[in-house]
Amino acid sequence: MTEEMTSRQRVAMALAHRETDRVPADLGGVVTGIHRDAYNRLKEYWGIEEETVLHDFKQQLPRPCEEVLIRLGVDTRYVDSGGRGGDKVEVRETADSYFYTDAWDIEWRMPKHMPMYFDMVSNPMAEWTVADMEAFEPPPTADAEGLAHLETTARELHENTQYAVVLFGSASFFEFPWYLRKFENFLLDMVLNENFVNALLNKLLQSHLEYWEAHLDVAAEYVDVIQVADDYGHQDGPMMSLELFDKYVYPRQREVISYIKSRTDAPIMLHSCGSIRQFIPRLIENGIDAINPVQVSATDMDPAELKAEFGDRIAFWGGIDTQQVLPHGTPEQVAAETRRIIDILGAGGGYVLNSVHNIQADVPPENIIAMFQTARDYHG
């Protein structure tokens, strides 16, 4: 039996592909979080009366309170410089919806009849030309107050706890560009409008590097994991060819990841939903240490095949199905699926347990508890 580890040791050893006393468990990020409704039902189930504070306003994700994290046995704690929680958002209201506009002038809408999360309803660069793009200056990546908050919280967690401190940040060269440009426009641009794509991605590269310089200046010595996100896949396949990935995304992602790794030894986890198998060798080449959410229900994402093909070179973070098992299974079925995934992805290390993306609003508290309880108690 492996000697009991601290959370920080457990996550570090798992990401280094070494055996741990139990699989590490994660909750609380902006792509590894829990929806407000599921969280509130979990608190009610346990009789916890602490106020729900949103961590991500767009997705309606709370920052789990310490009592919830301790009860679930979560090994991670998240830090950021603010700006996602909604405290500075000006919400507009119509008869049927809530709206807000973010710092990049993207408009988001949440309907009142189903107030689950905000969806994108405008793309500010949809009609832009190359000249418009070249004249554009990205908004500031953080303010002094936010960076001071990040430094304080990261240092306190590092010095006063044994949790793995995770910092989320920007490194998107596919998903965020189409937020700005519009999905179909950006896909066409990648084939027909190379000058525009390069102008846009070079602006984003500048913004991402500025983000990481500012954030790592205050937090590099305190963080244990870096988390970035850039979706490349949908349910049935990748959203672009490997040729287009290599042309546009790969070199810029490499520059950002190389910069991060020049500033910190923290492993880097990249979030990308869907069927992304064809991109994994490139992600490994670029220095990505773990992939999330491991969408096991997507095409070509069988966990046993992924582990056999890539498990010695990259770690897996996620893997517990949120489409069928977590919302619709019994607690016993959730526990069985959790054990199955741990046996596959956790063999020999290289696995951090989490749901496939955020725990959705319809997941009952009993199933959330079953997943984390199994992670805590099961040793394979």
Residue 113 lies in a domain: no
How many DSSP H helices and E strands does the chain contain?
A: 15, 15
- Cα(270)–Cα(289) distance, rounded to whole angstroms? 8
Instruction: Residue 137: name the closest of 178, 105, 174 by CA.
Output: 105
Whether the full predicted model's pTM is greater than 0.95, yes or no, is yes
Residue 109 lies in a domain: no
Could you tell me if 41 and 316 are in contact, meaning their C-beta atoms sit under 8 angstroms apart?
no
What sign does the CA torsion over 7, 8, 11, 16 have?
Answer: negative
Q: Which residues contact 101 (CB under 8 A, 6 or more apart)?
A: 90, 107, 108
Position 319 pLDDT exceeds 60: yes
pLDDT for the residue 364: 98
- Cα(73)–Cα(56) distance, rounded to whole angstroms? 22
Question: For the chain, what is the domain count?
Answer: 1
Residue 111 lies in a domain: no
Residue 110 lies in a domain: no
Q: Which residue has the higher pLDDT, 141 or 331?
A: 331
Residue 343 lies in a domain: yes
* Tokens, residue 60: 């309606």
| DSSP class per residue in 72-141 | HT--EEEE--SSSSSTT---EE-SSEEEEE-TT--EEEEETTS-S--EE---TTTT--HHHHHH--PPPS
Burial 274-287 (b: 16+ CB within 10 A, else e): bbbbbbbebbeebb
Domain ranges, residue 41: 7-87+125-377
Q: What angle (nearest 5°) sits at the alpha carbon of residue 105, between those of residues 102 and 110?
A: 55
Position 2 pLDDT exceeds 70: no
pLDDT tens digits for range 108-122: 999 999 999 999 999
Position 1 pLDDT exceeds 60: no
Residue 150 lies in a domain: yes
Percent of the chain beyond pLDDT 90? Answer: 96
Residue 114 lies in a domain: no
Residue 115 lies in a domain: no
Residues 302-320, mean pLDDT to the nearest whole number: 98
pLDDT tens digits for range 46-98: 999 999 999 999 999 999 999 999 999 999 999 999 888 877 789 999 999 99
Could you tell me if 274 and 254 are in contact, meaning their C-beta atoms sit under 8 angstroms apart?
no
* Tokens, residue 80: 């950021």
CATH number of the domain bearing residue 196: 3.20.20.210
- Cα(3)–Cα(114) distance, rounded to whole angstroms? 48
Cα separation values, 353 from 166, 171, 175, 282, 342, Å: 15, 23, 25, 23, 8
